[in-house]
Amino acid sequence: MTDAGRDGRRVAVVTGGSGGIGGAVARRLADAGTAVVVHYAGAVDRAAEVVESITAAGGTAYAAPGDVAEPAEMERLFDAAEERFGGVDVVVNTAGIMKLAPVAEMDLDTFDRMHRVNVRGTFVVSRLAARRLRPGGALINFSTSVTRLQQPTYGAYAATKGAVEAMTLILARELGGRDITVNAVAPGPTATPLFLEGKSPELIERIGSAAALGRLGTPEDIAGAVAFLAGPDGRWINGQVLFANGGAA
């Protein structure tokens, strides 16, 4: 693995870093000594809170806005990271949206919006990562355990994540020989505010009990999987989808 930027730290870009899982990933990477660019789309206050929590703990981070599906905006984000820190070593694509409905009832505009963020956005950022990550770097995309669990109402969302898995595994092979790993993390049900919203305690308990470990995942559980893939112990893991779901079936 390489050293990081001008101050010796590795440098990470975390898209969707203002979200529940994205924020946990940013904090976990910062705890390991990584300088973190906390990307956000509209949640500037939440991004600022993530940055503040990192800097209060002695880490290095700053927030940067942008639409993940717009190449020019993501180019500016990578440019800023390189200007501030000297380069980029880790890219984590947590940015995504989830809208649920049976396939027969899914509104196509809603599907197109999910596709734009989840598929095009991941593609735009992955393409930049392929061009700009330094040797020893890691790209970590986000899928979902629903691609295997096949739960009703998740068809459109799972379709976008199936596309993410395909591009991730192929990109790992396209980058062969450059000492850059490309993997995906596929969380199961995770106790983020977005997931918990509108669900009764009884429903939450029932969903959690479906995992072999008998509970919902936490954002920190998922962040641990990301940190493994981004760190020195994950260098021999490449072109894989890591299911982080507590044994959900």
For the question of residue 154 being annotated catalytic, the response is no
> Helical H runs in 115-200?
122-132, 146-149, 155-174, 193-196
Residue found by looking up tokens 């770097």 in the block: 137
CA atoms within 13 A on the CB side of 243: 12
At which residue do the structure tokens 């991941």 appear? 122
Q: Which residues of 67-76 are buried (b: 16+ CB within 10 A; e: fewer)?
A: bbbeeebbee
Report yes or no: 245 and 187 within 8 Å, Cβ to Cβ.
yes
Torsion of CA 147, 13, 34, 23, to 10 degrees: -60
Q: Tokens 């959900």 appear where? A: 248
Catalytic residue among 40, 62, 154, 157: 157
d(C-alpha 218, C-alpha 85), whole Å: 30
Enzyme catalytic residues = 157
